[in-house]
Amino acid sequence: MDNAIGLEIIEVVEQAAIASARLMGKGEKDEADRVAVEAMRERMNKIHMRGRIVIGEGERDDAPMLYIGEQVGICTREDAQDVCNIDELIEIDIAVDPCEGTNLVAYGQNGSMAVLAISEKGGLFAAPDFYMNKLAAPAAAKNHVDIRKTPTQNLKIISDCLGRSVEDLVVVVMDRPRHKDLINEIRQAGARVRLISDGDVSAAISCAFSGSNIHALMGIGAAPEGVISAAAMRCLGGHFQGQLIYDPAVVKTGLIGESKESNIARLKEMGITDPDKIYNAEELASGETVLFAACGITPGTLMDGVRFFGGGARTESLVISSQSKTARFVDTIHMFDQPKSLQLN
C-alpha cells in the first residue's frame, strides 16, 4: 500500500469531523451524517489511490452513505494509468463510518468520531449490516479472555492479567434493553459499568490504551463497526472478538429483517456459511497492511472533539498503522480564512 495514504487519510477524517461538528447539538441526525459522508467522499476522491468501499454504513437506517462497492480515489478514474504510479494503482479496500455516533453529534454528547480503516483488497471482512456480539479487552488479556466464556470469567481473567481487582475494572456496555442480564452480571461480578447510548468503536479501541479507564467492551453493537474496531485493535495488539447476531429476537429492533432463517440465507449468499463463527481481530482485519484513522467530532475518551475559533478549527485525530507500528495522535489547526490569532495549545 502506498505510504502517502497514511498522511492523506488524516485529512479525510478531519474534513468529515469538521463538517459534522458544525451540526453539533442541532438535533439533525441525518444532516450531521450527510455532511460527514460528503466531506469524506470529496477528500478521498483527491487521493492518488484506487479504493473500493467495503463497509459503508447507512443501509441499516436509510442514512446517507458511501455505498458498498463505490469506487473512490483518483486512480479509479478512466485516465488512472496516466496520472497514477504502480503502487497507487493497487486496489485497496476501505471501511468507513463518516459519523460514528450520529445521535451523539445531533444531541451534543461526547464520543462521536469520523472513522475509517484501509487494507489491501480482501483485507477487511465485508460484514453485513447485522449486529455483532463483541468483546474487547487490553493487550495483556489478549487470547486469555474469550467471548465463549461468561462475563464473570472474563472479568476475573482481565483482573489477573492487569493485576488489579475486578472492582477496579470498568466495562463499557451499550445502554440497550438487550443488555439487561449482561449489565446485572457485570455488576454482580463486582466490576463497574459505563453505559453508553452510542459509539462502541471508541469504547472498543479505548480498551487498548491504559489510562482510558476502560478495561472491556461487552455486548451487542453493529457488525460494520465491529470490523472497524477490529482493524484498530489488530494494529494495537488489543483483544477483539465478534460474533454476528442474525436472530431478530435477540436485538428486537426490527432492523435485521423478519426472520432468523431469511438472515441465514442472506449470509449464505454473501459466502458466510457458518453464521455462528467467532471472529478475532486478525480475521476481521486480515490484510497484511492495515491502516486506521479517526478524528473526534465531539469530545471523547481518546480524542478531543472539533473546536472552532474565529477563522478556523482545531482537531484531534488518531492514525494507526500496522506497517510502521505506530499510533499517532495528530493535533491540527485548520485555517479557513485568515484567523486573528492561533492558540498555541
Ligand X SMILES: O=C(COP(=O)(O)O)[C@@H](O)[C@H](O)[C@H](O)[C@H](O)COP(=O)(O)O
- As measured in angstroms, the least distance from the Cβ of 288 to ligand X is 27
Q: Is 97 in the site for ligand X (CB under 6 A)?
A: yes
CA–CA dist 327, 291 (Å, integer): 10
Q: Which stretch binds ligand X (CB under 6 A): 48-56, 197-205, 324-332, 334-342?
A: 197-205
| Residue 30 grid cell | 441525518
Q: Is 252 in the site for ligand X (CB under 6 A)?
A: no
Q: Which stretch binds ligand X (CB under 6 A): 18-26, 114-122, 165-173, 220-228?
A: 220-228
Which residue reads 468520531 in cell numbers?
113
Name which position in 88, 100, 129, 200 contacts Mn ion (CB under 5 A).
Answer: 100
CA–CA dist 236, 292 (Å, integer): 10
Q: Annotate 25-45 with b (16+ C-beta within 10 A) or e (fewer).
A: eeeebebbbbbbbbbbbebbb
Q: Is 174 in the site for ligand X (CB under 6 A)?
A: yes
| Residue 91 grid cell | 486496489
Residue 221 contact among ligand X, Mn ion, none, beta carbon within 5 to 8 Å by kind: ligand X
Report the residue number, 14 or 97, with the smaller CB distance to ligand X.
97
DSSP annotation of 128: -
Q: Tell me the sheet residues that pair with 222.
A: 131
Q: Is 198 in the site for Mn ion (CB under 5 A)?
A: no
Q: Is 176 in the site for ligand X (CB under 6 A)?
A: yes
Q: Tell me the sheet residues that pair with 102.
A: none
| Radius of gyration for the alpha carbons in the chain, expressed in angstroms and rounded | 20
- As measured in angstroms, the least distance from the Cβ of 198 to ligand X is 3
Is the Cβ–Cβ distance between 205 and 232 less than 8 Å?
yes
| Residue 81 grid cell | 494509468
Of all residues in the shown chain, the one whose CB is closest to Mn ion is: 100
Name which position in 221, 248, 287, 305 contacts ligand X (CB under 6 A).
Answer: 221
Q: Which stretch binds Mn ion (CB under 5 A): 67-75, 114-122, 188-196, 224-232?
A: 224-232
Q: Which stretch binds ligand X (CB under 6 A): 7-15, 100-108, 287-295, 306-314?
A: 100-108
Residue 199 contact among ligand X, Mn ion, none, beta carbon within 5 to 8 Å by kind: ligand X
Which residue reads 462475563 in cell numbers?
151
- As measured in angstroms, the least distance from the Cβ of 129 to ligand X is 9
Report the residue number, 11 or 198, with the smaller CB distance to ligand X.
198
Q: With left for phi above 0 and alpha for psi between -120 and 50, is residue 191 left, alpha or beta?
A: beta
**Cα distances (angstroms) measured from residue 219 to each of 118, 199, 260:** 25, 13, 19
CA–CA dist 267, 284 (Å, integer): 16
Report the residue number, 75 or 107, with the smaller CB distance to ligand X.
107
Q: Is 99 in the site for Mn ion (CB under 5 A)?
A: yes
Is the Cβ–Cβ distance between 297 and 276 less than 8 Å?
no
CA–CA dist 51, 88 (Å, integer): 10
| Residue 7 grid cell | 498522511
Q: How many residues bind ligand X (CB under 6 A)?
A: 17
Name which position in 53, 225, 228, 244 contacts ligand X (CB under 6 A).
Answer: 225
Name which position in 101, 242, 275, 300 contacts ligand X (CB under 6 A).
Answer: 101
Which residue reads 472491556 in cell numbers?
216
Is the Cβ–Cβ distance between 170 and 194 less than 8 Å?
yes
Q: Is 253 in the site for ligand X (CB under 6 A)?
A: yes
Binding residues for ligand X restricted to 26-85, rule: CB under 6 A: 57
Point out which residues bind Mn ion (CB under 5 A): 57, 97, 99-100, 225
Point out which residues bind ligand X (CB under 6 A): 57, 97, 99-102, 174, 176, 198-201, 221-222, 225, 253, 255
